[in-house]
């Protein structure tokens, strides 16, 4: 490993050559001291949007001689570069597709790239090396609602699942002492709060010793109990999984008040893990006598790349059908009371909530957190316009019907559900304009609603703990 000075300007994009002997990167054209001083004198504290895009030069770093890497300019681009992809043929075959988390290794001697756990259908979340890489690679892999520990000796060797506890392993680290790899990790499950554990051997995970007791207080409380729940989307036969959390002392009881709590992303999932914060608040809601379903709808990780890709072109309508079939199943199984239903989510979960209340009036109340309602506004004002381009397969002027068809704003006249809306004043991931649009529409339609805006907060609501408390309280 070595460091390389690439200048003071930010790196906008980079990629390796197909032989892995060269690194290409794009950075903003540097100003001279005189130019920078003149600009500040001219504009003072006024922000000029896009900062007069100065263009991006593209550089190549050659690593054929690792002792003396050579940097040279390839070309100058008048616009800002946001992505670089190398191809020796001058073109890229096929369209870009996101995948779940994967693990690759690069051989710096021969340039070979190898994918590890290539038969694993879930999402790889972390890895560590045993004995400085002389033995197995430890891989944390999410499959369905569990993140378990796997080992592999080489990219072509079998992937071995280690025997451990049910739940979620995370933040695994190793150290090599006295010819042994010592392993530390965090583990939790719906029944067991997060703590740090330590073990001397990867094949003795169940004997790991607890190191911390930071969350011991939760073990002294009568907490909700949960389990996996599965159902079918009867439209296409796809099996969907979610996590059910029951109120304390009501595990597997019937006819309970139901809240559907939708995760964000979409490329994430609800896990058999202990979470208790303003975003992952199912545990707290269940203690208020709610049955909470957390659905891993289409687009969630841990169920294969095809499951992940199924939201492309239908990034609201398809996952929402998955969710509604889950509600039907819970009612059919007499687990949920059909007269006491609520829906809610944050970020992408807010998008889906906003869409769902245009499709049905069965919910008594909706909780919309930082959710979008209009795709053109989203593409034009958020900090990740590539997501709109990707999920809707083009720019607004290229796919106008799709941008409109998958937007809640054009169907809000169907809403009858009282809706509680929360958002951060400075949110640029899902701009606050969406919440104002939703509030104004509900006001015009005489639908009961409330909008709360947290000042100076971005998307994560992490600047003032009181805002987190108020978000949960309200």
Residue 91: the pLDDT is 45
Share of the chain above pLDDT 90, in %: 62
Q: How confident is the model at residue 278 (pLDDT cuts 50, 70, 90)?
A: confident
* Domain ranges (residues) in the chain: 11-77, 103-218, 225-473
Count of C-beta atoms within a 10 Å radius of residue 294: 25
- Contact call for residues 137 and 152 (beta carbons, < 8 A): yes
- pLDDT, tens digit, for every residue of 360-391? 999 999 999 999 999 999 999 998 888 899 89
Share of the chain above pLDDT 70, in %: 86
- The mean pLDDT value for 174-186 works out to 82
Q: How confident is the model at residue 262 (pLDDT cuts 50, 70, 90)?
A: very high
User: CA–CA distance from 133 to each of 34, 197, 327, 439 (Å)?
Assistant: 50, 22, 47, 55
pTM of the model: 0.82
Taking the C-alpha atoms of residue 262 and residue 242, their distance in angstroms, rounded to an integer, is 10
User: CA–CA distance from 453 to each of 63, 241, 348 (Å)?
Assistant: 51, 33, 18
- The mean pLDDT value for 88-112 works out to 68
Would you give the distance in Å from CA 223 to the centre of its chain? Answer: 27
Q: Which long-range contacts (CB under 8 A, 24 or more apart) does 377-381 make?
A: 377/431, 377/433, 377/434, 377/437, 378/430, 378/431, 378/434, 379/403, 381/428, 381/431, 381/433
Phi-psi region of 219 (alpha: psi -120 to 50; beta: other; left: phi over 0): alpha
Residue 279: the pLDDT is 83
Class for domain 225-473, per CATH?
alpha beta
Task: With a cut of 80, say whether residue 299 has pLDDT above it.
Answer: yes
Task: With a cut of 90, say whether residue 209 has pLDDT above it.
Answer: yes
- Contact call for residues 282 and 290 (beta carbons, < 8 A): no
- The mean pLDDT value for 278-305 works out to 94
Strands 70-77 and 56-62: antiparallel
Tokens 């002392």 map to which residue? 249
Q: How confident is the model at residue 71 (pLDDT cuts 50, 70, 90)?
A: confident
Q: Hey, what are 202's tokens?
A: 């990867």
SS3 (DSSP) at 175: strand
Contacts of 400 (CB under 8 A, 6+ apart): none
Write b or e for each residue in 214-226: b if 16 or more Cβ atoms lie within 10 A of its Cβ, otherwise e: eeeebeeeebbbb
- The mean pLDDT value for 144-171 works out to 94
Task: With a cut of 60, say whether residue 129 has pLDDT above it.
Answer: yes
Q: How confident is the model at residue 417 (pLDDT cuts 50, 70, 90)?
A: very high
Kindly write down the DSSP assignment for every residue of 118-142, as one continuous string.
Answer: TT--SEEEEEEESGGGTSPEEEEEE
Phi-psi region of 8 (alpha: psi -120 to 50; beta: other; left: phi over 0): alpha
Residue 461: the pLDDT is 85
SS3 (DSSP) at 225: strand
Q: Output the average pLDDT for the chain.
A: 88
With CA atoms as reference, report the closest residue to 416 among 358, 350, 371, 345. 358
Q: What is the DSSP letter of 414?
A: G
Taking the C-alpha atoms of residue 433 and residue 370, their distance in angstroms, rounded to an integer, is 10
Residue 224: the pLDDT is 95
Strands 103-106 and 70-77: unpaired
Q: Which long-range contacts (CB under 8 A, 24 or more apart) does 214-223 make?
A: 215/274, 218/193, 218/274, 218/276, 219/193, 222/248, 222/249, 223/191, 223/248, 223/283, 223/287
Task: With a cut of 70, say whether residue 98 has pLDDT above it.
Answer: yes
- The mean pLDDT value for 457-470 works out to 85
Lowest-pLDDT choice from 9-13, 120-124, 138-142, 187-191:
9-13
- pLDDT, tens digit, for every residue of 3-50? 566 666 777 777 777 666 777 778 877 666 676 677 677 666 666 666
Taking the C-alpha atoms of residue 327 and residue 192, their distance in angstroms, rounded to an integer, is 27
Q: In what side-by-side order are the strands of the sheet with 70-77?
A: 11-16, 22-27, 56-62, 70-77
- The mean pLDDT value for 389-398 works out to 93
Residue 95: the pLDDT is 59
């Amino acid at each position: 490993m070595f460091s390389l000075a690439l200048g003071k300007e930010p790196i906008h994009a980079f990629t390796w050559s197909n032989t892995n002997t060269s690194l290409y990167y794009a950075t903003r054209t540097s100003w001279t001291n005189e130019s920078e001083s003149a600009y500040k004198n001219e504009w003072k504290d006024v922000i000029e949007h896009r900062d007069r895009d100065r263009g991006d030069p593209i550089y190549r770093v050659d690593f054929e001689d690792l002792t003396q890497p050579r940097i040279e300019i390839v070309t100058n681009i008048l616009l800002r570069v946001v992505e670089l992809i190398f191809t020796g043929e001058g073109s890229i075959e096929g369209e870009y597709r996101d995948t779940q988390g994967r693990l690759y290794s690069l051989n710096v001697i021969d340039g070979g790239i190898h994918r590890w756990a290539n038969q694993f259908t879930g999402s790889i979340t972390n890895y560590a090396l045993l004995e400085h890489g002389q033995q197995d690679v430890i891989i944390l892999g999410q499959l369905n609602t569990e993140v378990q520990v796997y080992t592999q000796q080489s990219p072509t060797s079998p992937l071995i699942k280690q025997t451990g506890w049910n739940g979620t392993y995370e933040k695994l680290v190793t150290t090599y002492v006295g010819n042994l790899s010592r392993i530390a990790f965090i583990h939790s499950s719906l029944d067991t709060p997060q703590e740090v554990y330590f073990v001397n051997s990867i094949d003795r995970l169940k004997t790991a010793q607890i190191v911390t007791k930071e969350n011991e207080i939760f073990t002294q409380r009568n907490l909700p109990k949960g389990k996996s729940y599965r159902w079918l989307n009867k439209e296409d036969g796809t099996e969907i999984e979610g996590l059910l959390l029951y109120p304390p002392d009501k595990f597997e009881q019937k006819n309970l008040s139901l809240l559907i709590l939708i995760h964000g992303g979409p490329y994430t999932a609800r896990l058999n893990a202990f979470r208790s914060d303003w975003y992952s608040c199912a545990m707290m809601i269940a203690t208020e006598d709610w049955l909470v379903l957390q659905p891993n709808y289409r687009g969630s990780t841990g169920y294969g790349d095809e499951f992940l890709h199924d939201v492309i072109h239908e990034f609201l309508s398809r996952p929402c059908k998955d969710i509604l079939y889950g509600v039907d199943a819970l009612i059919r199984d007499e687990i949920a009371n059909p007269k006491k239903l609520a829906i809610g989510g944050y970020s992408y979960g807010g998008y889906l909530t906003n869409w769902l209340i245009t499709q049905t009036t069965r919910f008594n109340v909706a909780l919309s957190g930082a959710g979008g309602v209009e795709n053109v506004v989203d593409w034009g004002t958020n900090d990740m316009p590539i997501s709109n381009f990707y999920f809707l397969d083009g720019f607004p002027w290229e796919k106008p019907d799709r941008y409109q068809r998958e937007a809640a704003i054009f169907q809000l006249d169907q809403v009858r559900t009282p809706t509680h809306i929360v958002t951060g004043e400075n949110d640029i991931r899902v701009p606050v304009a969406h919440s104002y649009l939703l509030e104004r529409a509900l006001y015009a339609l005489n639908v009961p609603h409330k909008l709360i805006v947290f000042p100076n907060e971005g998307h994560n609501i992490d600047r003032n703990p009181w805002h987190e408390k108020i978000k949960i309280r309200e």
